[in-house]
Chain A
């Protein structure tokens, strides 16, 4: 069996120090490395997790797995029992013989990653095979299970978020032999039934269930394995330029680089057409919005060896290295915040006119931080992005100032039912900074973000919120406001897959706060056949 160490604790905190939160017990699990066969070692881990689930059920305790603890919201937290799974990092290549007969995927591009693999581990593993992830969260510390279940995104304008590269999921949904499921889309099957049997899972092929389980918020059971589609290794060429606000927002509102006023001479072809970037990101100082925007534009290039090491230069682009005392000082003397941010611009923004090249894993290399951090990401349709930015900047100046800077990233829509990148192209309007305590002199972060939501709502701007970031999650009817009826479908799918008892086991405070924890005995008539099929499936 896998090695499990039990720690009785009183609290738990996330990587960015947004807690602490009360917790009773933390299990630290590692694979049994004496088992030679990786697939047997993988199934052994699943059995051990099921043992913990069984014990939690017997003791009427709830249960939640987590990896890198990177979410700034409390989505990863569980009051009762938590499973630290970062050491579960088995990787398996998929062979031709393991493909579904009618798949369109190529075996050389498919890999099964156990839940605790981080984005960096995956990138390094894939690079050795001449492959790369299609995108990442513009950072590399999240585990794959955490990244997909909260909708982590980069700024890959034509690719999507991390979960959009997933073609199959293995979930552990209970303590019994039949409680390991392998889910993939019916419309795009990837792996054979035989492979699912090899990992001791019953197969469920359903687009609705798969799309709901993609961004699961940890509520669909323990994500034990993720089948990812990779692509051939490529290089990214990163330019950092200053662009006028008008030109930058012209692109932001349309993603039409072909007809944009701004053009990078190096990316204009001899016939006058322009290359389409892979990634586009704007950095904005909200307290001097008239200045040109620092803009990061990244193009995809064929892989070659012999390019200069980009890592020493990418380290400059980390805002989170601003020490905590800055926010404490700023909370007492808020009028100086714009001056502080202006002075720290060189730390907060990448260096203008730097051009570097590297793989995805190199361009988005390690980050570390010397302070606690807050971050909030609003998803908005790109057409609304200039208006939303103006409203946000006005609020930061009227209600603040607050110690944070703004950025805008752009991501193709996700198929995930509760993917927050749900607009055809979603602009993620983000504010990142160092947290502070609200006082008589200064608005709190929660109150400020509540004002942003009210303003967007009153202005008719449809929005979503990044699940893994800070937000006033108890805002009334927030999920309906953001997702319409999509949350009903998500709840139906969860209730089809899990029993009521198990749904409770995998619920937590976050789900209760956003009204996603409730179980549906009566699901929509359209899904009754799916429920019956799922109930009838066996390993």
Chain B
């Protein structure tokens, strides 16, 4: 492998790392309530054995609109947690469309329904 190839690969890796660093997410978790369980969702971390709903879409806003609202009807007893994620591409899209194309990437966990 030549010097140039190694150099290019490192540049690509560096760029990917930079882009990855530009993506981030925040989890807002409810102090109260228990997450709706999912016996089949096995993954290390916060979502282990929790029932998860992913909401992903790109919203096109009209000239007079300036925000996006996601209406969820599945959590009958409230949210256990909401994770909002934004990627470098999402930020870029928002910028070049002057805020009129917004990507929504939300992960929702509902509170486990009580038997009342």
Contacts and interface: CB of A to CB of B under 8 A. Distances in A.
B49 A90 contact: no
Given A31-B115, A89-B112, A89-B114, A120 B44 contact: no
A176 B33 CA distance: 36
A311 B115 contact: no
A370 B45 contact: yes
B31 A15 contact: no
Nearest to A16: B48
A13 B115 contact: no
Contact of A121 (B31, B42, B114): B114
A249 interface: no
A89 B115 contact: yes
Contact of A371 (B32, B34, B44): B44
B99 interface: no
A294 to B, nearest CB: 26
Interface string A292-317: 00000000000000000101000000
Contacts of A89: 112, 114-115
Interface string B13-45: 000000000000000000111100101101011
B46 interface: yes
A368 interface: yes
A258 interface: no
B42 to A, nearest CB: 6
Contacts of B112: 86-87, 89, 121
A68 interface: yes
Contacts of B32: 124
A41 B114 contact: no
A120 B34 contact: yes
A38 B116 CA distance: 7
A86 B37 contact: yes
A41 B39 contact: no
Contacts of B49: 15, 68-69
A335 interface: no
Contact of A369 (B33, B42, B48, B115): B48
A448 B17 CA distance: 41
Given A89-B114, A120-B34, A369 B39 contact: no
A17 B115 contact: no
B37 A369 contact: no
Nearest to A121: B34
Given A41-B115, A124-B32, A370-B45, A7 B37 contact: no
Contacts of B115: 31, 33, 38, 41, 88-91, 114
Contacts of A28: 39
Contacts of A311: 31
Nearest to B32: A124
Interface residues of B, number: 18
A89 B34 CA distance: 11
Interface string A26-63: 10100101000010010000000000000000000000
B45 A368 contact: yes
What DSSP secondary structure best describes chain B's contact surface? loop
B111 to A, nearest CB: 10
A31 to B, nearest CB: 5
A448 B113 CA distance: 43
B43 to A, nearest CB: 10
A334 to B, nearest CB: 23
Interface string A340-382: 0000000000000000000000000100111110000000000
A84 interface: yes
Nearest to B29: A366
Contacts of A371: 44
A113 B40 CA distance: 25
Contact of B44 (A38, A69, A90, A324): A324
B88 to A, nearest CB: 24
A17 B39 contact: no
Contacts of A368: 45-46, 48
A25 B34 CA distance: 26
A369 B31 contact: no
Contacts of A15: 48-49
Contacts of B114: 89, 91, 121
A288 to B, nearest CB: 29
Contacts of A370: 44-45
A370 B42 CA distance: 12
A91 B116 CA distance: 8
A68 B35 CA distance: 11
Nearest to B37: A86
B39 A84 contact: yes
Contacts of B116: 38
A118 interface: yes
A372 B31 contact: no
Nearest to B46: A368
Contact of A372 (B37, B44, B46, B113): B44
Contacts of A17: 42, 44
Nearest to A140: B34
A269 to B, nearest CB: 34
B34 A369 contact: no
Nearest to A368: B46
Interface in B102-116: 112-116
B74 to A, nearest CB: 15
B77 to A, nearest CB: 11
Interface of A: 7, 13, 15, 17, 26, 28, 31, 33, 38, 41, 68-69, 84, 86-91, 114, 118, 120-121, 124, 309, 311, 324, 365, 368-372
15 contacts: A15-B49, A33-B115, A69-B39, A84-B39, A87-B112, A89-B115, A90-B115, A91-B114, A91-B115, A311-B31, A365-B31, A368-B45, A368-B46, A368-B48, A369-B48
Interface of B: 31-34, 37, 39-40, 42, 44-46, 48-49, 112-116
Given A87-B37, A91-B115, A121-B114, 4 more contacts: A7-B40, A28-B39, A31-B115, A89-B114
The 3 closest A-B pairs by CB, nearest first: A90-B115, A86-B37, A84-B39
